[in-house]
Structure 1
Amino acid sequence: MNYKDLAAKILKAVGGDENVEHLEHCSTRLRFSLIDNKKANEDELKSMPGVLGVKKNAQFQVIIGNDVVEVYTEIKKLISDKGINKESNKEKRKIGAIALDFIISVFQPLIPAIAGGGILKSFLMLFNMMGILSSTTSTYKLLMIVANAPIYFLPILVAITTANKMKANPLVAVSAVAALLTPDLTQMLGHGAKFINLPVQSITYASQVFPAILCVLCYSQLEKFFNKISPKVIRSFFVPMMSLLIVFPITLLVLGPIGFTFGIYFAKVIMFIFAKFGWIAVAVLAAFLPFMVVTGMHKAMIPYVVTSLGQTGKELIYNAASLAHNISEGGACFAVAIRAKDKKLKSTATSAGISAMFGITEPALYGVTILHKRVLYGVMIGAFSGGAYLGIKAVEAYAAVGPGIASLSMFISKTLPNNIVNAIIGLILSFVVSFIAVALLWKETSIETKEAGTVKEQFNAPVEGQLINLSEVKDQVFSSKVMGDGIAIVPSKGELYAPADGTITLVYETKHCLAMKTDNGSELMFHIGLDTVNLKGKYFDPKVSVGQHVKKGELLMNFELDNIIKEGFDPTTIVIITNRPDANLDIMEKKKVNKKDFIFAIN
């Protein structure tokens, strides 16, 4: 893959670097905060080789897969600061979307450091349990220091990500927050300290995130204010000096205690939910994670995970549910790989299944699960079963990373030796149940028959009416088959249906024409009427949108047949196979057809 070329195309399709306010990435997605989402061309992005999909909610997400880091690196080289601070051009967004965008931007970049430290810590404990490396050695203790560092210094890490999001000076922001972690301050607060006769609450700020966030939010506003009023000649030292002078005492007296209290109760609420609903909370979350991951809403759980790990050193709900879901995706994909007849689907399911087993589920979700309803059901059944077991056993996680085979050490505990055992049992249960469920539920999405050693893809009639040969169509472009082979129907009813399962790839602006790609790879174009482009959308009412997956017999469009005829247009509807010029079509004899009738097949 040419990462540089793909990066340039993606950047252009999202509206150019001047439309990018902020960019980050997770394990599979580029996460853009765009100034104006309307400037992004979703259709163009979805059609790019190397792009698995596009999702738009709080952020504009371009799903890349395992090559996301390389593509992100190339895009960062192309981005300037043209889009920064152009508030006048910024698209108005709902407060919920703004809040979620902020949460993801602040917490998502923390995951690699927290995950790296957590997994290193779990491996050290494993080596100690196996007698490979004793916990009494200086080597073990030194490595444990670096493993614990990301959690201990969470306030500093959060200060960096928050400052980057707020476009504030990250080094000054870190200085303000780092002051909260200094040994001298800790000692003073322990003995009782006052600032201008105002008592300062004794709080241990290590591993806390919300005091740091509030501190940097306040600092960013102070920085903007002093930049406006400060003479340029002294700005380099005056702005940070005045900002630190004000933000530090405000944090000690007000923001720190508020953030600390919020963090404590935030974690308590989640633990209350677990105590109240127990295994049900884990099982239900695991079953619904496919929908959350597809929409990107699972990122809203990151603050809870990070806070729980920072305050208690463990997490009981999300990681267990995520383990059940990830492994269920793997089990489902392997079942599809065995049961499916389509070679391309087999290949996709196999690679996606392997990826899911290692904690990366987007290839499985976008390549298999959401395209096949029965697979989705199987994944939900497997995830619920595994999640229920993990919830009943109260399996604890000690790192923030996508759970999978390679990261199972995140469940190793010194005090709970059965924790990792239960995690493995939950993994196996999720895989087996999902695999069996999909194997039993699976049904090929398109009807395939074998005749004389060849496999045929069959299609039903897209409209009701009189079936005619394409050569009879009163338009030379279609009748001469320049655009491809196909069939034509003189409609008796103004409804267009999907002749097979597939995904809508195009809806023309004038609405008289749309296209779809079947699950078996055939690309079909539907053209309602001759020269009806001149109606400019009048009398046509599409019921689908680009990217939507449809089932055979599903309504694609309503069209006012009588009015089209009254306007003097021939209503003959044409179906062209645009990507298989060498295919042999078997077309049934002319007769009246409806959407339940098989009318043609392609080898």
Structure 2
Amino acid sequence: MTTTKDAAGAILEHVGGPENIAALQHCSTRLRFNLVDDARADEAALKAVPGVIGVVRGPQTQIIVGSKVGDYFAEIEKLRGGRAAARAAGTPRQKLTWKRAGSAIMDFVVAVFTPIIPAIAGAGIFKSFLILASALGWMQTTDPSYQVLSAIPDAVFFFLPLLVTYTAAKKLGVNIPLALGIVGLLVFPTFSGLLTQEGGVALFGLPIPAIAYNAQVFPPILTVLLLWPVEKLATKITPGPIRTFFVPLLCFIVVSPIMIFALGPLGYGLGSLLTGGMLWLYGTLGWVAIALLAAVLPFIISVGMHKAFIPPTIATVAQQGRDPFYLVASLAHNIAESGSSLAVAIRTRNKTLRGTAISSGISAFFGITEPALYGVTLQNRRALFAVIAGSLTGGVYLGIAAVGAFALVSPGAASISMFIDVLNPWNLIHAVIGALVAFATAFVVSLVIWKDSDSGTIRALDAQAGTAGDIAAEPVADGRLVAPVAGEVVPLDRVDDPVFGGGILGDGVAIRPSTGAVYAPLSGVVSSLLPSKHAFGITGDDGVEILVHVGLDTVKLDGAPFVAHVAQGDRVERGQLVLEADLEAIHLAGFDTITPVVVLNGDAFDVVEALTGPVEAGTGIFTARTKEAAHGTV
């Protein structure tokens, strides 16, 4: 008899061995492999392994093993650990694809730029306060005190290349002092003086491009990207006793000239191109570009793509001194989130939602929108529509008024000084008016169209606030399972997933849910509930094993839109609340919410008398009958 350990070993062998595994995770029924080389996986051999129900190929290689997936995962991890010495030379890397490349680039951008935002934001606001003090006549720009204080924020932007060097080197694991030493040349006063002197300067007869590198972000990034492999190679080929000085020496010799002649000018050109692109978009579409960006920001932020705006916005503020595009659109969106949330707080009769909306609205008013975005507006389409309306109208006004931002910080009441322009006092006034337009529009629209009966948040709260969160399931015959969620029951083959739709895991039905409250379809013990909380299994009192899987591929959401009300091993009764799912958040993340309800031990039970059509939670949907009983009825 094949044991789980034997089967795990065979699976490990047929996916190409431990060295071919870049990452491994599992959901409620599947082992999910990210392989270095997908071609090395032997699909036929994997399907022949005892215990393997099916194999699905795609961006991940998914091996379906059923309810014992946790045991298989543990055994494979043990075997991988036992063979770690074979992989000690380095971490396996997946083959490069466009999708993987995009994810890696975004991860690098976030790691490099996010840590330096506080320094840039603080310096920008500090500078705006000095401008305000000068505008009010409290200080003169010729005063020594003003000049000393101005040097504080100016230093942050002047040495921005070093800040970027630090975060990039930290992300890539490069020697940070070495990276700072090499890139430091670009802002070294003596070197800058040589570049700007009459006639410029040359190295071994080759003229060096005369570029001012202060406030640049891309030259240091390109330099660190080159230093990364050079340092690794130098470390590998250099004998241990002389590495301390010889590796840095080789890096200085190789990287510095390339930085001076190629990477520095290339990075400067790239920064100018991105800055020019932002300014071109604004110059071509004008206020339309700002209004449209403000209107779609809720969706951009919800999937994390707003991070892509960070590098060009930093470059624009550093080089041009102001940003007329992204930060201006963000002001309209942030304040619209506040207006919509506060209107919800007035209209709703649900105390819990009212408390959330008040705190979220105040937070958004001061520039912190995450509580409002994820706690109120994304979960309630009427509130979201009001945000879009407010963002659009506020963006139109700000765009027509040509408002510019002078500090890189989340716009709001607390940071409104970021719009102070010493040469144009109306810039701040227009920013305030545009913010008020966004607030008023979102507030009024939300106030007019809000309905508690259409609130996804209230539906979830009401389900949770019932008697222990349970429902009164209708009386049903033995073996009859009830719908775990309200919605429309459809045949299982309508599920757009080869595992569920093909019946690989077993027979059953699927439900297109209309609410996010998910209940136990039968009485028994919770046999599986993963940390991702997207699925659970129940072993019924008669031995039937049922899987309820909320959505397709929702394991990738890492549990964010789910709240579990039971734990693995708990006893549950039919109709008891098991978990809650934020259906709107799942939709916005791009996943299907269809919920398969499957009998896993189909060798012992048949699905009969299956229902289709609209159904309320607690209504019978099919009967799980033992093979003997099912055959006896034929």
TM-score (norm 2): 0.65
AA in 2 matched with 1:501: T
SS in 2 for 1:595: strand
What corresponds to 1:474 in structure 2? Answer: 478
CA contact (8 A) 2:485 2:516 kept: no
What corresponds to 1:549 in structure 2? Answer: 582
Please give the alpha-carbon distance, in whole angstroms, between the structure 1 residues aligned to 2:486 and 2:232: 66
Sort the Cα spacing of 1:394 and 1:531 in 2 relative to 1 into closer, same or farther, 3 A. Answer: farther
AA in 2 matched with 1:279: W
AA in 1 matched with 2:478: K
Please give the alpha-carbon distance, in whole angstroms, between the structure 1 residues aligned to 2:310 and 2:491: 52
Please give the alpha-carbon distance, in whole angstroms, between the structure 2 residues aligned to 1:555 and 1:166: 38
Q: Deviations over 1:517-537 (max 9, x none)?
A: xxxxxxx99989996844779
Q: Deviations over 1:2-29 (max 9, x none)?
A: xxxxxxxxxxxxxxxxxxxxxxxxxxxx
CA contact (8 A) 1:37 1:91 kept: no
What corresponds to 2:515 in structure 1? Answer: 501
Sort the Cα spacing of 1:470 and 1:572 in 2 relative to 1 into closer, same or farther, 3 A. Answer: farther
| More off after superposition, 278-287 vs 136-145 | 136-145
Sort the Cα spacing of 1:201 and 1:528 in 2 relative to 1 into closer, same or farther, 3 A. Answer: same
SS in 1 for 2:92: helix
Sort the Cα spacing of 1:493 and 1:297 in 2 relative to 1 into closer, same or farther, 3 A. Answer: closer
SS in 1 for 2:378: helix
What corresponds to 1:88 in structure 2? Answer: 92
**One of 273, 283, 288 as aligned partner of 1:280:** 288
What corresponds to 1:109 in structure 2? Answer: 115
CA contact (8 A) 2:131 2:422 kept: yes
Following superposition of structure 1 onto structure 2, how do residues 260-275 of structure 1 map, counting pairs within 5 Å?
A: 260-275=268-283
**One of 288, 307, 316 as aligned partner of 2:315:** 307
AA in 2 matched with 1:165: K
State the Cα distance separating 1:86 from its structure 2 match. 4.5
What corresponds to 2:206 in structure 1? Answer: 198
What corresponds to 1:576 in structure 2? Answer: none
Please give the alpha-carbon distance, in whole angstroms, between the structure 2 residues aligned to 1:242 and 1:527: 62
CA contact (8 A) 1:446 1:458 kept: no
Identical residues among aligned pairs (%)? 35
AA in 2 matched with 1:87: T
What corresponds to 1:439 in structure 2? Answer: 447
Please give the alpha-carbon distance, in whole angstroms, between the structure 1 residues aligned to 2:376 and 2:486: 32
AA in 2 matched with 1:100: M
Following superposition of structure 1 onto structure 2, how do residues 215-234 of structure 1 map, counting pairs within 5 Å?
A: 215-234=223-242
**One of 427, 431, 435 as aligned partner of 1:427:** 435
Q: Deviations over 1:60-86 (max 9, x none)?
A: xxxxxxxxxxxxxxxxxxxxxxx9994
Please give the alpha-carbon distance, in whole angstroms, between the structure 1 residues aligned to 2:145 and 2:89: 48
Q: Deviations over 1:324-370 (max 9, x none)?
A: 11111111111111111211111111111111112111111111111
**One of 141, 147, 156 as aligned partner of 1:150:** 156
Following superposition of structure 1 onto structure 2, how do residues 141-540 of structure 1 map, counting pairs within 5 Å?
A: 141-191=147-197, 192-445=200-453, 470=474, 472-474=476-478, 497=511, 501-502=515-516, 533-534=544-545
Please give the alpha-carbon distance, in whole angstroms, between the structure 1 residues aligned to 2:187 and 2:228: 20
Sort the Cα spacing of 1:570 and 1:225 in 2 relative to 1 into closer, same or farther, 3 A. Answer: same
Structure 2: which 5+ runs fail to align? 1-20, 29-58, 60-86, 457-461, 493-508, 530-534, 556-560, 562-580, 585-591, 620-634
Structure 1: which 5+ runs fail to align? 1-34, 43-56, 58-82, 449-454, 460-466, 480-485, 516-523, 574-592
Please give the alpha-carbon distance, in whole angstroms, between the structure 2 residues aligned to 1:381 and 1:212: 41
State the Cα distance separating 1:433 from its structure 2 match. 0.4
Sort the Cα spacing of 1:134 and 1:468 in 2 relative to 1 into closer, same or farther, 3 A. Answer: closer
Q: Deviations over 1:503-526 (max 9, x none)?
A: 669999xxx9999xxxxxxxx999
Q: Deviations over 1:197-240 (max 9, x none)?
A: 11111111111111111112222222111111112112111111
What corresponds to 2:52 in structure 1? Answer: none
Please give the alpha-carbon distance, in whole angstroms, between the structure 2 residues aligned to 1:106 and 1:380: 31
AA in 2 matched with 1:180: L
Please give the alpha-carbon distance, in whole angstroms, between the structure 2 residues aligned to 1:291 and 1:507: 34
TM-score (norm 1): 0.68
AA in 1 matched with 2:119: A
State the Cα distance separating 1:496 from its structure 2 match. 5.8
State the Cα distance separating 1:488 from its structure 2 match. 12
State the Cα distance separating 1:501 from its structure 2 match. 3.2
AA in 2 matched with 1:231: P
CA contact (8 A) 1:507 1:545 kept: no
SS in 1 for 2:302: helix
Sort the Cα spacing of 1:532 and 1:500 in 2 relative to 1 into closer, same or farther, 3 A. Answer: farther
SS in 2 for 1:132: coil
CA contact (8 A) 2:287 2:399 kept: yes
CA contact (8 A) 1:124 1:144 kept: yes
Please give the alpha-carbon distance, in whole angstroms, between the structure 2 residues aligned to 1:280 and 1:222: 46
Q: Deviations over 1:79-137 (max 9, x none)?
A: xxxx9994226797611111111111111111111101000000011111122233222
SS in 1 for 2:452: coil
Please give the alpha-carbon distance, in whole angstroms, between the structure 2 residues aligned to 1:446 and 1:255: 56
Q: Deviations over 1:568-603 (max 9, x none)?
A: 456689xxxxxxxxxxxxxxxxxxx97388999xxx
**One of 614, 618, 630 as aligned partner of 1:595:** 614
Please give the alpha-carbon distance, in whole angstroms, between the structure 2 residues aligned to 1:122 and 1:437: 34
**One of 123, 129, 137 as aligned partner of 1:131:** 137
What corresponds to 1:585 in structure 2? Answer: none
State the Cα distance separating 1:443 from its structure 2 match. 1.4
Sort the Cα spacing of 1:40 and 1:337 in 2 relative to 1 into closer, same or farther, 3 A. Answer: farther
